[in-house]
């Protein structure tokens, strides 16, 4: 992998990740852009103890542009985009309309491919490995920023999820705090460790899932399963078999196998609802250990956390979506219409030939 860092016309950082070491990236952003102005502010809810980002400047972000005006495609002639070069393998750049900025963290966009009409599932194993390396590199770089405590790499796919740009891309949020979902996991890990005299909860969960029959697919270094208490209609958790706290700690064997397993998962998601259905909307989310202090989680350190990816869709059946209504939105109590055992069986049935 070759990494080339440059700057856009308004000062934001842009980074090319290339498969070839001889790639030259010297194109200049020719757009007349004013410096980016953000209004991001993090406020803490005193009752729930969580944090909310207020970012009013995002109201003006680009919304469903036509394909020939896509800001994530390479620049061509007089059609200038966020990527100055006329081609690229993978690109990461600072979001022009970030939810988090400055002392409140940082937001980046990850373009998986220059092909506007592709999806992540269309990538080759080599392209997928390049994206994995980019996620890893950005996790490392962002973790060293003084305001950052946790790095979150994710992909939203589909208009049903709220995606406003059709080009295959994901995002990276660098939070100035430990996110509520991660904090809940760490509290559970701490309680389990104390109750069992030192057993790791993630290890126990993985052992249970391997025994209970909800495994979707398994490689030498990764295993994917539908969790016992899945929140979403079709939800798969992908774990490396060797527990590591973050992407940085994956060994070469796990990195090599990841593209095979992940691409197969994504392709199965597109086959869940049968032929003729539109692409399955999904969220794909990496969970990594925070880089900040963990004193509030007594007895727990970073190595107790298990890196894993959670992949889920809000589509519950053909033509119908799972909405977060009263119980979910009002009380955070999920009601799942699809039994996890059925979801696992269905995902095994649609395995590619």
Point out the residues that are catalytic: 169
Consecutive H or E run containing 15: strand 13-18
Q: Write the burial class of residue 84 (CB in 10 Å: 0-12 exposed, 13-18 middle, 19+ buried).
A: buried
What does the alpha-carbon distance between residue 311 and residue 284 come to, in Å, rounded to a whole number? 4
SS3 201: helix
Burial class (CB in 10 A: 0-12, 13-18, 19+), 229: exposed
Q: Distance (Å, rounded) from C-alpha 40 to C-alpha 155?
A: 21
Query: Which helix (DSSP H) or strand (DSSP E) does residue 261 occupy?
Result: helix 252-269
- The tokens 């022009």 sit on which residue? 96
Torsions phi, psi of 133, nearest 5? -65, -35
Distance from C-alpha of 228 to C-alpha of 50, rounded to nearest angstrom:
26
CA distances from 275 to 94, 122, 270 (A): 38, 17, 9
- Three-state SS at 308: strand
Pairing of strands 215-218, 222-225: antiparallel
- Sorted by sequence, the CB contacts under 8 Å of residue 197 that are 6+ apart come out as none
Contact 96, 82 (CB under 8 A): yes
């Amino acid at each position: 992998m070759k990494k080339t860092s440059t700057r856009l016309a308004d000062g934001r950082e842009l980074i090319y990740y290339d498969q070839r070491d001889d790639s030259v990236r010297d194109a200049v952003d020719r757009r007349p852009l004013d410096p980016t102005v953000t209004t991001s502010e993090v406020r803490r809810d005193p009752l729930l103890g969580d944090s909310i980002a207020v970012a009013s400047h995002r109201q003006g972000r680009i919304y469903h542009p036509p394909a020939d005006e896509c800001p994530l495609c390479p620049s061509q002639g007089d059609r200038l985009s966020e990527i100055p070069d006329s081609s690229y393998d993978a690109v990461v750049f600072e979001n022009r309309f970030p939810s988090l900025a400055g002392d409140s963290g940082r937001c980046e966009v990850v373009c998986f491919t220059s092909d506007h009409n592709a999806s992540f599932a269309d990538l080759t194993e080599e392209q997928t490995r390049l994206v994995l390396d980019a996620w890893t590199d950005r996790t490392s770089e962002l973790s060293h920023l003084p305001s950052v405590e946790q790095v979150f790499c994710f992909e939203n796919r589909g208009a049903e999820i709220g995606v406003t740009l059709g080009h295959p891309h994901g995002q990276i949020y660098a939070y100035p705090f430990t996110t509520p979902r991660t904090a809940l996991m760490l509290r559970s890990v701490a309680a389990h460790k104390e109750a069992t005299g030192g057993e790791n909860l993630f290890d126990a969960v993985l052992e249970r899932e391997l025994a209970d029959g909800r495994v979707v697919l398994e490689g030498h270094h990764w295993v994917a399963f539908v969790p016992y208490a899945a929140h979403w209609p079709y939800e798969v958790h992908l774990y490396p078999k060797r527990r590591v706290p973050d992407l940085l700690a994956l060994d070469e064997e796990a990195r090599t196998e990841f593209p095979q397993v992940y691409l197969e998962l994504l392709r199965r998601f597109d086959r869940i609802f049968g032929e003729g259905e539109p692409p399955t909307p999904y969220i794909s989310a990496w969970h990594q250990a925070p880089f900040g202090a963990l004193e509030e989680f007594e007895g727990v350190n970073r190595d107790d956390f298990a890196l894993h990816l959670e992949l889920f869709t809000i589509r519950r059946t053909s033509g119908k979506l799972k909405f977060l209504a009263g119980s979910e939105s009002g009380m955070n109590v999920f009601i799942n219409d699809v039994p996890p055992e059925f979801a696992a069986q269905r995902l095994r049935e649609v395995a590619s030939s």
